Structure 1
Amino acid sequence: MSIILRVFALLLLLFSTKGWAVIYLVHDTEESAARALSFQLSRQLPVDTKVTPVRRTAYIQNIAQIEKDDIIVPIGVDSFRDVCMVTSQGVVMALFVGKEEYENIQARCSVSTSAVFSGAPLEKRLVLLQAVWLDRKPLAVLHSDTLLLDEQGMTSKAAEYGFKLLFFPTPVDRLSVLKSVNFVLEDASMIMALVDTQLYQQGIAQDILRLLFHKRQVIIGPSLPFVRAGSLFAIYSDTEAKLATLVNHLTLWQKQGVFHEARYPDKLRVSFNPYLIKSHSVVLPSASYLKEQYGLCSDIDCR
C-alpha cells in the first residue's frame, strides 16, 4: 500500500471514530462568569471535549447548527425554557435550576432532558428543621406559577416529620408578593422557600427578608445568599459539587449511552444564620453530627 493510501486510511479511521460531542453552555450571564464555568467543566472532562459557552440569544439564532450528538447545558431556568422551545436535536442537561422549575418545563421539551438541581430535597430540609425547630405550626410554601408542585406528595412527606404545609400561589410583582407574605404568616410559623427564580428575584427577595425580620418571622432559604441576607438556614450545593454531578451525567451518556435522571448533587452543604440562631435560641448540632446523621457538610468545617 502506498504512503498516500495508508495516510488516507488512517484519516478515515480517525474521522469515523466517535468522540465527544460539542457541549454548549447556554447562558445569559456575564461573559467572564460563563468562561470561568466552561473552564471549570473542561478541566473535569476528557482533553478532546469541546465546551463552548454561547449566549442564549446567539444559541437561538444559530439553532440550525446543533447536531444530534451535541449536548446543550442551559445555565438557569430562563435558558432552559428557551432551549426547550427551539431545540429539536441533541440532548439537554440543565444546570442551576430548581426541581419544581425543571419539572414544569421538562414536560414541554421535545428532546431528552436531565438536570442537576439547585437547593436540596424537601426531606433533607424537613428532617433538619425537625431537629432544630420546636414550633410545629404549619409551614408556608409561597410560589409562582412557574413551578410544578406535587402538593399531595409534599404534604405527605411533611407529615412524616410532624409538619403541615400550606401552599400559597402569588403574582410575582413586588406589592403582591409582600401582601402574600403578610397573609401567609397569619397561619404559618415560617416560609419554606423553594428554588423559584421568578418569585425570588434579587430585589423582591431582599424585601421579603426585611419584612420577615421586622415581624420576627423566619424563612428557610434555598441557597447560601439567602442565609447571608437573613434566612434561618439553607441546604444547598456549591458549584464544584454541581459540576461533579454534571460530569457524571455527561460521562455516563457519552460512554454508555445511558441518560441519568435529573437529581441533586450527592454532596450538600448547610449554612446557618448566626444572628437568627441566637435570637431564636436554636441549639445547633455539631458539624460531625450533621455529617453523620444528615449527610450534610457544615460550612464551619467542610472538607
Structure 2
Amino acid sequence: MKRNVKRIFWITLLLLFSSTKVFAAVYVVHDMEERVARSFVFELDRRLLLDVSLVPVRSHAFLENSAQKLKEDDLIVTVGVKSAQQVCSSLSKGVVVAVFIGKEEFQKAQFDCSVPSSAVFSGAPLDTRFALLKAIWFDRKPLAVLHSDHLLIDQESMSRQAKEYGFELNFHHTELDRLSVLKSVNFVLEESAMIFSLVDSELYQNTLAQDILKLLFYKRQVMVGPFLPFVKAGALLAIDSDTEVKLQVLTNHITVWHSSRVLLPAQYPDKLRVSFNPHLIKAYGIVPPSAAFLRDEYGLCSDTQCD
C-alpha cells in the first residue's frame, strides 16, 4: 500500500513538472534614463499575469552581450525607434515587439528585420485623422508632409487615402540639421497652410519640434501634431494613445505569444484620445465636435473626458 502511494506521488510530481510551461525570456531593450526604464518595466510587469521575468537592458549592452544568447522563442520588446532599428537589423533569433514607434518608423525598421516583428503604434490611423480634419478644416490647400529618412512612406497609398476625404498631400523629404528643417518648413508652406505630421521621432525631437512650431506661429500657420504634448506646445490638434493604453496592448501581445507562440499583428490601440489647442481653435473660428460626437463618429475620447 505504501509502495503504491509512493509511486502515485512520484507520477503526479512528474506530470506536474512536465505540464509546467517554461517561459522564454522577455528583454526590454531601451535607451531611456534608468529611472524611466525602471518605471516602465515595473508597470509592464504589474500587468503581466505570467511567470516570466522582464530583463531591462540598454541597446548597446543588449547587442554586445545578450543578443548572442537568444533562443528562437525569446521575446524582445524595443522601446523607441532607435532601439527597434538597432535590434531588428542585428538579430537572427527571437521575435520583436516595438512600442513607442510610429507606423512608418516601424515599416522602415521592419524592412531590415530578419526575425518576426510586430508593434504597438503611437499616433493614430490616417483614416481617423483625415476624417476628423475634414469636419473642422475647410482650407483645401495641400497638406504638407515633412519626413526624414527614418520613415518608409507609401506616398501613392497615403495620397489615395487623403483624396477620399478631399485632401491633397505635398510630401517633402528633409535632412535633420536645424537649417535644413527650417528651410523645408518655409518651402512647403508656400503652397500649404498646414503641416500634417507623421510620427517621426528623429524629425520631431524636442529642439527641432520647438523651432518648427515657433516658425509656424510667426507665419500664422498650423500643424496637426503627432503626439498629444504637441498641442500644448502649439499644434492645432493631435490624436494619440496614452502610455497606459499602449502598455495594455503590449501586455496582450506578450501574453498571446507566451501562451500560443502566435505573434499578433502590429496595431494602433483601440482607445485613442484627441486634444485640441483652445487658442488656435478660437483663432481659426473652429467649433470642435462634442465629446459624444467624437466618441460615436470617430471612436475618440476627448482630452477632457477620457476615462
TM-score range, shorter chain: over 0.9
Q: Secondary structure at the match of 2:29?
A: strand
SS in structure 1 of the partner of residue 151 of structure 2: coil
Residues 50 and 255 in structure 2, CA contact (< 8 A), matched pair in contact too: no
Q: Which amino acid aligns with 1:210?
A: K
2:228 to 224, 237, 240: 224
Q: After the TM superposition, which of the residue ranges 110-119 and 20-29 deviates more from structure 2? A: 20-29
Q: Tell me which of 171, 193, 200 is aligned to 2:197.
A: 193
Moved more, 15-24 or 50-59: 15-24
1:51 matched to 2:68? The reply is: no
Per the alignment, residue 109 of structure 2 pairs with: 105
Change (3 A) 1:66 1:11: farther
Using the aligned pairs only, state the percent identity. Answer: 56
Map Cα deviations across residues 192-239 of structure 1 (whole Å, 9 max, x no partner).
000111111210110000000000000000101211110000000001
Query: Deviation at 1:9?
Result: 7.9
Structure 1 segment 12-31 matched on structure 2, within 5 A: 13-14=16-17, 17-31=20-34
| CA offsets 1:40-66 (integer angstroms, 9 cap, x no match) | 111221241211211111111112222
Find out whether 1:163 has 2:173 as its counterpart: no
Letter paired with 1:14: F
What aligned pairs does 1:36-185 form with structure 2 within 5 A after superposition?
A: 36-62=39-65, 63-185=67-189
State the alpha-carbon separation in 2 of the partners of residues 123 and 157 from structure 1.
7
Q: Distance in 2 between matches of 1:127 and 1:293?
A: 9
Question: Across the two proteins, how many residue pairs are aligned to each other?
Answer: 303
- Supply the distance in 2 between the matched residues of 1:257 and 1:24 (Cα, whole angstroms): 16
Q: Give the Cα separation in 1 of the matches to 2:55 and 2:163.
A: 45
Q: Which residue of 1 aligns with 2:249?
A: 245
| Structure 1, unaligned runs of 5 or more | none
The alpha-carbon deviation at position 8 of structure 1 amounts to: 9.7
Per the alignment, residue 285 of structure 1 pairs with 289
Structure 2 gaps, min length 5:
none
Q: Do structure 1's residue 208 and structure 2's residue 250 form an aligned pair?
A: no
The 2-side partners of 1:247 and 1:271 are apart by: 26
Q: Aligned AA for 2:178?
A: R
- Give, in whole Å, the separation in 1 of the partners of 2:14 and 2:302: 53
- How far apart, in 2, do the equivalents of 1:245 and 1:34 lie? 18
The Cα offsets for residues 114-158 of structure 1, whole Å up to 9 and x where unpaired, read as 000001111111110111111111100000011110101100000
Q: 1:293 to 1:187 in 2, by over 3 A?
A: same
DSSP-derived class of the 2:89 partner = helix
Give the corresponding residue for 2:37.
34
Cα displacement (A) at 1:20: 2.9
SS of alignment partner, residue 76 of structure 2: strand
- Tell me which moved more, 30-39 or 172-181: 30-39
Give SS of 1:106's match: helix
Question: Partner amino acid for 1:172?
Answer: L
- Greater mean deviation of Cα atoms: 200-209 or 39-48: 39-48
